[in-house]
Amino acid sequence: MAPSPLASAILFRLGPLAITRPVVTTWAIMAVLTVVSWLVTRRLRLHPDRRQTVLELIVTGIMAQIDEVIRKNPRPFLPLLGTLFIFLVAANLSGVLPGVEAPTGKLETPAALALIVFVAVHYFGVRARGPFGYLASFAQPKLIMLPLNIVSEVTRTFSLMVRLFGNVMSGEFVIALVVALAGLFVPIPLMALEILVGLVQAYIFTVLATVFIGAAVDTFEAE
């Protein structure tokens, strides 16, 4: 029987905590992203060179996307959503490297990311409308929608998690099956497809997080 995609291998224990493989991969990705970010933002000039042009292209591109969805100043949302997108791209594509499993293909990492989005939605919502204004927004458009709105908060976070997990995990599973059935070089087209799926899923996760935050901070309807 194939190893369960719902469990992950424990590498070592830190006291009572079991440190699993996706956690170590996530640490490595975080370290790489931190070092690269530090290196590319070290000497920023008014007249950008090639490195800084690419950097500005990425940052302004993400900002334009956020701006199109939220239609507000995207600056307060850029640190969270930009980091989310860049981390997701790195994490989804890390599965292509030999010997590395994408951490988003295990259940814990998408769960943690979805939980971050869940908390961020309420944080931005309370900050934009005040605590009572935000709570009142759950009773929009009618009071009878209150239970549905509360349920949808939970289910959309759950589906955010399951979507990312299911896509990345099923891609890796299919590649593993094809390797076992057909041999070494046959799954290369599938791996190319997996790169596309990883990018699209990173984009979708970020856009959905943006849409949720945008709905939480949207003060237009409440008035």
Partner 1 sequence: MDVKLISILAAALAVSIGSIGPALAEGRSVAAAMDAIARQPEAAGTISRTLFVGLAMIETMAIYCLVIALLLLFANPYAG
User: What does the binding site for partner 1 look like in residue numbers (CB under 8 A)?
Assistant: 4-7, 68, 159, 162-163, 166-167, 170, 200, 203-204, 207-208, 211
For partner 1, the closer CB: 97 or 211: 211
Contact 114, 165 (CB under 8 A): no
Q: Is the backbone of residue 15 left (phi > 0), alpha (psi -120 to 50) or beta?
A: left
For partner 1, the closer CB: 20 or 134: 20
Q: In the complex, what is the shortest distance from the CB of residue 204 to partner 1, in angstroms, rounded to a whole number?
A: 4
Contact 29, 94 (CB under 8 A): yes
Q: In the complex, what is the shortest distance from the CB of residue 32 to partner 1, in angstroms, rounded to a whole number?
A: 27
For partner 1, the closer CB: 134 or 165: 165
Q: Of 213, 201, 214, nearest to 162 (Cα)?
A: 201
Helix locations, 95-187, DSSP H: 108-129, 131-136, 146-182
Q: In the complex, what is the shortest distance from the CB of residue 10 to partner 1, in angstroms, rounded to a whole number?
A: 17
For partner 1, the closer CB: 40 or 78: 78
Strand partners, 10: 20
Q: In the complex, what is the shortest distance from the CB of residue 46 to partner 1, in angstroms, rounded to a whole number?
A: 30
Q: In the complex, what is the shortest distance from the CB of residue 129 to partner 1, in angstroms, rounded to a whole number?
A: 24
For partner 1, the closer CB: 151 or 200: 200
Strands 10-14 and 17-20: antiparallel
30 Cβ partners below 8 Å, 6+ apart? 87
Contact 206, 88 (CB under 8 A): yes
For partner 1, the closer CB: 22 or 129: 22
Dist CA 193 CA 199 (whole Å): 10
Q: Of 59, 160, 159, 79, nearest to 124 (Cα)?
A: 79
Q: In the complex, what is the shortest distance from the CB of residue 195 to partner 1, in angstroms, rounded to a whole number?
A: 17
